[in-house]
């Protein structure tokens, strides 16, 4: 009896909490399908009295979300691949060979990632102007790679360090050099960690706002996160279009999360348990 009551309380409470978490999201999705007139007449807080998908067309075409999504992918995909590749080779060398000063190098790289980005904003902007990269997607890609590297290296180092040494030893005896050991032996074994970091870094880079508005200026080159802020200025009080734009901006990361769910959560946990 008491047990049943407790189970009931637990589920009621948790359902309410879940509603508190999912409610605002569902509300925005519903709102994105309402017409301008409906919202004007009934207010933002009312239940829908209309249904339209034209809001998505407006956000997608007139609001420039399509262009922005393409920009986001053009930045995110190369950034993720490049930073993971660089982090993997660094982690490999630092974890499997006696590189002089390897511990200092590793901690220095991690410390770089923990710096507050504010200290870097002005110098990075000036440096990108100096190199002619300012206001190009390349500037954003290189910044994202440079800033993320330290953390990825640290996590991959922890992972590679714990792999058994016998396989590498056997490969060495068979005459394989470090390059072959890396590509043929270590990389396949590191795949789970790479998948986790890949999913995580995809969302981090895709969701970034600060670096984008620091090294980019032209509206046409903005990725989707800053573009969403611009959309808000462009469609003032057209709340259903803004809601549609919000949904569009959220879909890619939600998709990556659903596809790589286990890796994603595992990736977050790597840092915690290590």
Name the phi and psi angles at 189, rounded to 5: -70, -25
The residue (of 60 and 264) whose beta carbon lies closer to other proteins is 264
- Cβ burial 62-90 (10 Å sphere, 16+ → b, else e): ebbbebbbebbebbbebbbebbbebbbbb
**Rama region for 135: left / alpha / beta (φ>0; ψ in -120 to 50; rest):** left
**Rama region for 100: left / alpha / beta (φ>0; ψ in -120 to 50; rest):** beta
Q: Please, which of residues 24-63 interact with other proteins by CB under 8 A?
A: 24-25, 27-28, 31, 43-46
Stretch that binds other proteins, among 51-59, 62-70, 116-124, 190-198 (CB under 8 A): 116-124
Q: Please, which of residues 172-211 interact with other proteins by CB under 8 A?
A: 172, 177-179, 182, 203, 206-210
List, in sequence order, every beta strand (DSSP E) within the chain. Answer: none
Among 55, 58, 153, 234, interactor with other proteins by CB under 8 A: 153
Alpha-carbon dihedral sign for residues 151, 117, 231, 74: negative
Stretch that binds other proteins, among 56-64, 73-81, 188-196, 222-230 (CB under 8 A): 222-230
Q: For residue 199, what are the CA distances in angstroms to 22, 188, 210?
A: 22, 17, 20
Stretch that binds other proteins, among 54-62, 63-71, 153-161, 188-196 (CB under 8 A): 153-161
CB of 146 to other proteins, least distance (A): 3
Q: Please, which of residues 229-268 interact with other proteins by CB under 8 A?
A: 229, 232, 239, 242-243, 245-246, 249-250, 253-254, 256-257, 264-265, 268
CB of 137 to other proteins, least distance (A): 15
Stretch that binds other proteins, among 10-18, 57-65, 73-81, 188-196 (CB under 8 A): 10-18
Among 48, 66, 77, 102, interactor with other proteins by CB under 8 A: 102
Dihedral angle, C-alpha 103, 106, 108, 110, nearest 10 °: -140
The residue (of 52 and 215) whose beta carbon lies closer to other proteins is 215
């Amino acid at each position: 009896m008491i047990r049943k009551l407790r189970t009931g309380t637990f589920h009621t409470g948790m359902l309410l909490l879940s509603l508190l978490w999912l409610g605002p999201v569902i509300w925005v999705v519903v709102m994105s399908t309402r017409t301008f007139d409906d919202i004007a007449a009934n207010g933002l807080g009312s239940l829908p009295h209309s249904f339209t998908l034209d809001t998505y067309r407006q956000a997608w075409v007139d609001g420039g979300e399509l262009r922005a999504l393409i920009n986001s992918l053009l930045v995110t995909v190369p950034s993720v691949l490049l930073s993971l590749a660089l982090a993997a080779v660094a982690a490999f060398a630092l974890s499997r060979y006696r590189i002089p000063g390897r511990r200092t190098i590793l901690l220095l790289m991690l410390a770089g990632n923990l710096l507050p980005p504010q200290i870097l904003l002005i110098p990075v902007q000036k440096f990108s102007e100096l190199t002619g990269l300012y206001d190009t997607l390349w500037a954003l890609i290189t910044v994202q790679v440079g800033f993320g590297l330290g953390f990825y290296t640290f996590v991959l180092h922890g992972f590679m360090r714990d792999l058994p040494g016998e396989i590498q030893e056997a490969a060495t005896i068979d005459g394989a050099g470090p390059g072959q050991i890396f590509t043929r032996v270590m990389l396949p074994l590191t795949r789970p960690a790479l998948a986790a970091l890949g999913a995580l870094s995809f969302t981090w880079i895709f969701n970034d706002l600060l670096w984008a508005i620091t090294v980019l200026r032209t509206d046409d080159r903005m990725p989707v996160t800053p573009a969403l802020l611009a959309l808000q200025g462009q469609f003032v009080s057209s709340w259903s279009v803004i809601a549609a734009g919000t949904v569009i901006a959220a879909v890619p990361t939600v998709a990556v999360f659903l596809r790589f769910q286990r890796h994603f959560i595992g990736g977050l946990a790597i840092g915690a348990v290590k």
